[in-house]
Amino acid sequence: MYTRYTILLLTALLLAGGLTSQDSLPKSPDQLYAELFADVQMARIFPDSKTFADCIPKKDPAEILKSYRAAKNNPALRFSLALFVEENFSQPANRAPAYNSNPNQSITEHIQGLWKLLRRDSDSAVKGSSLLALPHSYIVPGGRFREIYYWDSYFTLLGLKESREFEIMENMIDNFAYLINKYGHIPNGNRTYYLSRSQPPFFTQMVELLASVKGDQVILQYLPAMEKEYQYWMEGAAQAKKGQPVKRVVILPDESILNRYWDELATPRPESYREDIETANKSSRNKTRVYQQLRAGAASGWDFSSRWLADGKTLATIETADIIPVDLNSLLVGVENSLARAYKIAKQDSMAMQFETAAEKRQTAIEKYCWSKELKFYTDYNFRKAALTKQITPAGLFPFVFFSHKQGYLSLLARQAAMVVQEKLLQPGGLQTSVQTTGEQWDAPNGWAPLQWMAVKGLARSGQIGLAKEIAQRWTRLNEKVYKENGKLMEKYNVVDLTLPAGGGEYAAQDGFGWTNGVYLALIAWLKQPV
């Protein structure tokens, strides 16, 4: 467990940081437009629910809502909802056609050009728009994703580093520091409807990446933001009781403190409004509970996966907020170690020691609650059921990226995990996302760039170089194959049948694509390094 001093320290930091309350945040489109928003989404005015959430109002939102209520309730008018939306809103721009390649370009040259197409300048705030204006330029993923996404951006930054795009790397990290300072955390993306949740905490890893280019003084520059984000994840740790989670914090029976994914709201997500209502209607549970769990699933970045499903196959059984994810907590070990390193650089040894201790305690807790002796693999832990979920996914390789080595113990576990990877996850195109085929996009047969990178990094770090290289080679060859066939880099890939595209989820496969570009360049560079 954490020492009482550590918890008091975190509490003091929290009080000093003054995290932003949900009530003080800008309103999301469903809050601004009330029944108008619901009516548009349920009437399927746009095939993709995210489109209306991103629309830009042509006049004051309050005026639009007032006009809607007056027109809808006037029996003398032949009211057209579609026409009303067209007259009062501008649709968000879609630059997807520009992602097509020149057949004479190599995949690397194509990516270099994509950085320019995916680049967005600093924003100007527009009243009633869901976009949260950012002060610096940034890279978006592509397709329907017209804004930054938190964990996507780390993997995009890997490629920007290889492309020597150092200025925009720093701009993006400055944007994230700005969001932390303004809102108390990094939201899922820079949209008002994402403010109620975050995503996997890669900010300290971004800072470390920039420090590898510019030197350790960068870490001191961003230390206040790094610390404040940690406060967000640990909020409530001092008050939480065993078995009664508070926000993102869970206290286990032995008083270990681990974390879960959580969203502050319990309503349908504006960007997936109709879909969430349909999912809740299929469930026998309280709808508010379903919305809460769907939102927690979105906070994980794995939206959606059999990892989070009680029956392993049906979205209506989702229980993300009841689960301690092994990858999230491994990432937080990384956050704690980064903070310890930062305080050492700042010559604040007592603070460094506190975070070193926190990382050690968290690692011990993960080993206790998330290592399956039966499966010989790390998996998630359902704290409500007091049981491992026994879902084999690449998330189980995150500990090998961040854990400290204990007299060869981690290498021993890595050898066992590598056998599981080869038997269960390794496919012709890289690692599949799970062993379940559910129709959800974060399941088989799909593979995702960030999971390939983390698996390669963790396995290589733990001595499994051969397997790490095999994953990297299979994944990059698949990227190259698809690029040669259609001139695109995709959000996700079918790694099982290389003749078929990836699918599943709430929207069509997107191209662009930020994190695929970044991981491809990083893996190609890694494969060229001497062993």
Q: Which residues are catalytic?
A: 303, 491
3-class DSSP state of 494: strand
Q: From start to end of 44-97, where are the E strands?
A: 56-57, 89-90
What CA–CA distance (Å, rounded) separates 471 from 467?
6
Backbone region of residue 514 per phi and psi (left: phi > 0; alpha: psi in -120 to 50; beta: other values): alpha
**Distance separating alpha carbons of residues 199 and 300, to the nearest angstrom:** 6
Interior angle at CA 192, CA 190 and CA 193, nearest 5: 105
Label each residue of 370-414 as H, E or C. Answer: HEECCCCEECCEECCCCEECCCCCHHHHCHHHHCCCCCCHHHHHH
Q: Distance of CA 313 to CAs 78, 304, 508, Å?
A: 45, 11, 20
Cβ contacts of 80 within 8 Å, gap of 6 or more: none
- CA end-to-end distance (rounded Å), the chain: 38
Residues 6+ apart with CB under 8 A from 371: 377, 378, 413
Retrieve residue 11's tokens: 């509490």
The neighbour count for residue 127, using CB atoms within 10 Å, is 11
Asked if 188 and 198 count as a contact pair (C-beta separation under 8 A), the reply is yes
**Cα 74 from Cα 66, distance rounded (Å):** 12
DSSP assignment string, 317-373: GB-GGGEE-HHHHHHHHHHHHHHHHHHHHTT-HHHHHHHHHHHHHHHHHHHHHHEET
Separation between Cα atoms, residue 167 and residue 182, nearest integer Å: 22
Which of 342, 309, 306, 311 lies closest to 445, judged by CA? 306
Alpha carbons 438 and 434: distance in angstroms, whole number: 10
Whole-angstrom distance, CA of residue 90 vs CA of residue 277: 25
Confirm if 334 and 324 have CB atoms less than 8 A apart: no
State phi, psi for 213 to the nearest 5 degrees.
-100, -45
Query: What does the block give as tokens for 403?
Result: 């854990």
Burial (Cβ within 10 Å: 0-12, 13-18, ≥19) of residue 392: buried
